[in-house]
Every structure is written in C-alpha cells, then in structure tokens.
Amino acid sequence: MDLEFYDENKYLISMTPADKIIEAGTVLGLNDKCSVLDLCCGYGEMLKLWAENFNIKGVGVDRCTEYINTGNRHLHDAQLNNNITLIAEEVQTYITDEKFDIACLCGVGDLFGGIDGHISMLERFIKPTGKLVIAECFLNKESAPKELREFEGELYTLYELYRLFSERGWYVSWLSTGTNADWERYISWEARRTIEKIRKSPDDKRMLEWLDKWYHMYFKYRREYEGWGFFVLERIW
C-alpha cells in the first residue's frame, strides 16, 4: 500500500481523493501566482496538496480549532506555512479585503442556504475572473426517502445542480463524482473517529447512538440514493 497517499486521504474529510484534487488543480490552472480561499477547509488538506503540487498561496477558514491546529502543524512540518494560512473562525463572520483567484466550499450540505447561498458566499471573495470549487452530495434518484431528506437536508440531482449553477452564471468546467471506494473511505473514517471517542468516554451513550445512526443511514439509504460531486465552476463572460 502507498502509505503516503493513504496519509493524505486521511485528512481529507469529504470524499474527493487526493489524486482527483490534484487533477482539479491542473484544470484550474493553478500556479505560484494563484491565491485560493477554502471556506470550511477542515484540516486544510486541499490547500496543502495544491501548495505542494502548484506552489499556490492560500487561506483556509474553519471553526473547528482541532482541525486548524493539526492542519497548521502539518503545514509547518511540510514547510508550507509561508504558502498557506489556516484560521479558526466562523465562515459567516469571516471578512478580508483580499480577493482570490479561486474560492472553495466543500462538504457543507445545506448549511448556508443551499447552492444559492454557497455561491453568494464565495462570490464575495473572488476577483472578477475568479473561479469556484463546490463539492456536495447529490441525489442519484429523482426522489429521496423522507428519512434521508431529514438526515441530509435538501439534496439535488446532478441535473438540478447544473441548473442551479448555470442560473447564477456559473458553468461546470470539470467534475469528479465519488466512487463506492471514496464513500467507504469517508464513512469508515468518521466511524473510526467515533469508535475512538466511545473508547475514551464509554458512558456517553450518544456516541454509540450516533455510530448506529451513521451506518444505518449509509447502508439503508446513502449507498443507494446519494452521490458525491466535486465541481469546478467558471463564468463564460
């Protein structure tokens, strides 16, 4: 097994694997003059991969201090802390005067007003020629069971996503959809974290309930009804 590759994937919280993120970087035309903002960046692993492979400059924002501290340690160890800054902050209150070439929001469901809200949030931070990266779950079938909709919030088919993007003037210039292997990596990653927490706090029954719910949703609904898409979006004009 390629352990280095495995280690990178471990710090990508959502489903797109490291090789696809690097491929997206090529399509985005990333280079040492590009600046990238990643909102809800998790450990900042996507920015780290792009800094390693394309020498970009970037900023990542996430409210989880554990992710940000670990991510900053990795950047420091890889001597990439001059390229990338990770900030522990709520993205809805994050402000900066800087305008970026690329703005990203990956894996947040319908937290910020769905696709429309996500596009509005990202547009605030980009240059007129800027591009967006959005990664989201989508619906594989026209209608989703109620339990899945309650668990995931609003989900769209790929076609509906395309319509929503293009109504806002954004066109898909590259996409990558998740495989079963990507899902299995993501689902079991979260389960391993939860198992660790249960071992540390065996009396906390909520964690065990969450683990049951997590696998119940995956095996009963998500595997059949949900896909994962990573989209590069550009304006034509």
Ligand X SMILES: C[S@@+](CC[C@H](N)C(=O)[O-])C[C@H]1O[C@@H](n2cnc3c(N)ncnc32)[C@H](O)[C@@H]1O
Which among 158, 103, 110, 163 has a CA at the least distance from the CA of 134? Answer: 103
- Whole-angstrom distance, CA of residue 211 vs CA of residue 216: 8
Q: Toward ligand X, which CB reaches closer, 107 or 227? A: 107
Nearest-approach distance from CB 15 to ligand X, in angstroms: 8
Nearest-approach distance from CB 152 to ligand X, in angstroms: 12
> What token pair was written down for 150?
């309650």
Q: Toward ligand X, which CB reaches closer, 64 or 158? A: 64
Q: Toward ligand X, which CB reaches closer, 46 or 207? A: 46
Q: Toward ligand X, which CB reaches closer, 45 or 101? A: 45
Nearest-approach distance from CB 163 to ligand X, in angstroms: 24
Q: Give the footprint of ligand X on this chain (CB under 6 A).
A: 12-14, 40-42, 62-64, 67, 90-92, 106-108, 111
Burial label, 150 (beta-carbon count in 10 A; 0-12, 13-18, 19+) = exposed
Q: Toward ligand X, which CB reaches closer, 170 or 228? A: 228
Task: Count other Cβ atoms within 10 Å, centred on residue 69.
Answer: 12
> In this chain, which residue has its C-beta nearest to ligand X?
42
Contact in structure between 11 and 46 (CB atoms under 8 Å):
no
Contact in structure between 35 and 57 (CB atoms under 8 Å):
yes
Distance between start and end Cα atoms, the chain: 45
Rg (C-alpha) for the chain, rounded Å, is: 18
Phi, psi of 19 (to 5 degrees): -65, -35
Partners of residue 157 on adjacent β-strands: 139
**77 sits in which H/E element:** helix 65-77
The SS3 assignment for 8 reads helix
Nearest-approach distance from CB 50 to ligand X, in angstroms: 13
Q: Toward ligand X, which CB reaches closer, 10 or 149? A: 10
Nearest-approach distance from CB 202 to ligand X, in angstroms: 25
Nearest-approach distance from CB 236 to ligand X, in angstroms: 27
Nearest-approach distance from CB 150 to ligand X, in angstroms: 18
